[in-house]
Amino acid sequence: MQLNIGLHDLTWEYNTNILRDRFILTSIQKTVKKMGLQDAKSTMKKAKPLNLPSVGSVVSGKIVASGAKGVIVSVDGVSGRVKLSDLSTRFISGEEAAELFQKDSVLENLTVTAVTADKRLELKPRSRVGEPEVGSVHKAVVKRVERYGVIMSFPNSMIRCLCVTEDVDDDLDQCKPMLAKIQPGHKYNVKVIRVEQGKIWVTMKKSQLGDQATYSQPVMQFSDPNIQDSSSDSVIQIDTPTALAKPKLLDLAASRPDSSVPKRSLATVDALEEESETEEGKSTASRKKTKRQKDAAKREQEKQVRTKEDELLAGDWKVNPQTPDDFDRLLLIENQSSATWIKYISYWLKMAELGKARQVAERAVKHSFNLEQDKLNIWIAYLNMEAAFGTTSELLDSVFLRATQYCDTKRIYHVMPQVWLRAGNIEKAKLSFEKMTNKFHLSRKAWLNLIEFLFNEAKPEEARSVFAKAIRAIPKHKHVRVTVKFGQFEFRAGNPERGATIFEQLLSNNATKTDIWSIYFDEQIKAFTPPVSSQIDFESIRSLFEKAVSLKLKPFKTKFFFKRWIDFETKFGINDDGVSAVKERAVAYVESISQADE
């Protein structure tokens, strides 16, 4: 018993020592940490404040890191950021930025644009990589010739530039003839006259180039980038910036050779051509002017052309997008407009790119629209595209099933027959109408659409049998409206006599409904007057009005019938006798009512 007590006491003492040691160790650690923090705080208080550069100053920075959010640089110990969009004329991914702007490299000529609250710098380079300077002379190869000018490219780069027609030659009268002589592959020395928002304008005028205005014949185009251009000796060698040798950083055209061309409407181009033709017509008179007058006229015309170009560049891509880049930019600000998406789909269809049109359609149907109608419009456009340009009906069926899941099923079923009709497939359209009536057999509109389709296809007997089925299927309160529409179809595409019989039977139980009488008047007048009928059937039309005004109805309804009768006599009557007779009849009716009241 004593041994057990001794062991227990020993164990308790041992555990107590361990707890005491742990407490002492923890206290020491806290003390050291606190002292270290106090030392750090005292060091920070003693540290000198950072010398932040002022906004607008030009600095250089050492690259610390680069990625999708930009390039982080250190400027005299102060952290700063340069956006990727400010470094290049095209989009740069994070991986590409890390490869191009490596750590410990130096970026020079950075302008401080802002200083944030946490003492960080926002920086911007003076010029983006890939943009040649204004006034520099470069060798350019003609890519293609358009009505408004020449589209050219710089060797060993993806840069595209534009030389408008007025900058081809010093003599405005010779600009168009010179433009006609220029062919793809020709090489010219050009001078950069303007750089704006990634677009470059150049000139080929001898007055601007001086002795460097040279020209050579088309050159052989090699697909191997390692093969050098052997005809470079025939053109004056230029000092190409080193950045031009890196096509990854250059994308004035976003990998499309036509996106750097200023978008011009046809009306403006025609206006420019008319002005040029006017100048050609006045060439004889202009020879009599002095040189000073000629120079003044040229400067004024160039100023007008520049003004028109600036107006077009200001926002024409929003009104009339012409390239995928334009559509992508437009979708950033108008992604809730179904019309913009449909225009983008139509653009690829015009380019015979069905695959890319489908890609845009898929993007559109997966987009979240605020309005249900916009979503429906996209699905309808998708269905129309597959019906008109698709190769298999299975693909269209799959799009149709997806549309019924994402949109109102009834509306999609109503749309599908019209899709087949636009595509010219009558059999598929008929099947769609029949599927619609089977699925929505209580819908008045579904049956009427099928009946109208059969009348338009010259199948009146089949339409009449469908009408009988519809009367048996739809609720009774819809019978009158369906019968009225069926009577209209008989008047317009069937037998007018049958149509008249339908209305007569309908009015025998609904004589007081002026809306039905009004429709009956309209259909009777259309059926028995030109251009449907060669001669006016006054007898049948007047007998209808006679029957209407003879009914014992409320005075305001009879007044409506008299007014319709007078309108008919005024428009189709041979003389005024018909109008006078109707007015006398109306006066007699009013007198009879007055006597009855007395």
Q: Does residue 145 share a domain with residue 285?
A: yes
Q: Does residue 98 share a domain with residue 12?
A: no
- Bond from prior residue into 530 cis (ω within 30 degrees of 0): no
Q: What is the tens place of the pLDDT at every residue in 423-459?
A: 888 999 999 999 999 999 999 999 999 999 999 999 9
Choose among 122, 127, 39: nearest CA to 81.
122
Q: Does residue 194 share a domain with residue 151?
A: yes
Which pLDDT does position 177 carry in this prediction? 85
Q: Does residue 103 share a domain with residue 185?
A: no
Residue 175 placed within a domain: yes
Which pLDDT does position 40 carry in this prediction? 43
Q: Which of 105, 125, 145 is the last residue of a domain?
A: 125
pLDDT at position 511 over 80: yes
Q: Could you give the number of structural domains in the chain?
A: 4
pLDDT at position 259 over 50: no
Residue 325 placed within a domain: no
What is the pTM for the complete model shown? 0.47
573 — pLDDT class (breaks 50, 70, 90): confident
Tell me the mean pLDDT in the region 298-312: 75
210 vs 244, higher pLDDT:
210
Which pLDDT does position 484 carry in this prediction? 94
Number of Cβ atoms within 10 Å of the Cβ of 416: 24
Q: What is the tens place of the pLDDT at every residue in 187-243?
A: 888 999 988 756 788 998 888 888 777 655 443 333 333 333 333 333 323 233 333
Residue 507 placed within a domain: no
- C-alpha distance across the termini of the chain, in Å: 136
Q: Does residue 153 share a domain with residue 289?
A: yes
Which pLDDT does position 30 carry in this prediction? 54
259 vs 90, higher pLDDT:
90
pLDDT, mean over the chain: 77
Q: Does residue 62 share a domain with residue 43?
A: no
Determine which of 271-285, 338-352, 383-397 has the lowest per-residue pLDDT on average: 271-285
Q: Does residue 247 share a domain with residue 291?
A: yes
Determine which of 28-32, 179-183, 339-343 has the lowest per-residue pLDDT on average: 28-32
Q: How far, in Å, CA of 411 to CA of 399, rounded?
A: 15
17 — pLDDT class (breaks 50, 70, 90): low
DSSP assignment of 521-538: HHHHHHHTSTTTSSS--H
User: What domain range includes position 255?
Assistant: 137-310
Q: Which of 423, 454, 489 is the last residue of a domain?
A: 423
Task: Please report, for the domain that includes residue 254, its CATH number.
Answer: 2.40.50.140
Which pLDDT does position 217 carry in this prediction? 47
Q: Does residue 358 share a domain with residue 246?
A: no
**CB 119 within 8 Å of CB 52:** yes
pLDDT at position 420 over 80: yes
Range from 57-61, 218-222, 243-247, 258-262 that averages highest in pLDDT: 57-61
Q: How far, in Å, CA of 422 to CA of 404, rounded?
A: 20
CA atoms within 13 Å, Cβ hemisphere of 407? 27
Residue 565 placed within a domain: no
Q: Does residue 1 share a domain with residue 96?
A: no
Residue matched to tokens 């057999």? 441
Which pLDDT does position 45 carry in this prediction? 43
pLDDT at position 389 over 80: yes
Residue 589 placed within a domain: no
Q: And the tokens for 456?
A: 């338009």
Q: Does residue 154 share a domain with residue 273?
A: yes
Q: Which of 265, 294, 310 is the last residue of a domain?
A: 310
Residue 517 placed within a domain: no
Tell me the mean pLDDT in the region 452-471: 93
Residue 374 placed within a domain: yes
Percent of the chain with pLDDT over 70: 74
**CB 229 within 8 Å of CB 219:** yes
282 — pLDDT class (breaks 50, 70, 90): very low
Which pLDDT does position 251 carry in this prediction? 34
Query: Which alpha helices (DSSP H) does 440-513 contain, by range?
Result: 444-456, 460-473, 479-493, 496-509
Q: Does residue 292 share a domain with residue 187?
A: yes
Which pLDDT does position 37 carry in this prediction? 42
Which pLDDT does position 176 carry in this prediction? 84
Which pLDDT does position 1 carry in this prediction? 39
Q: How far, in Å, CA of 558 to CA of 536, rounded?
A: 24
pLDDT at position 410 over 60: yes
pLDDT at position 101 over 90: no
pLDDT at position 250 over 50: no
Residue 472 placed within a domain: no
Q: Does residue 413 share a domain with residue 365?
A: yes
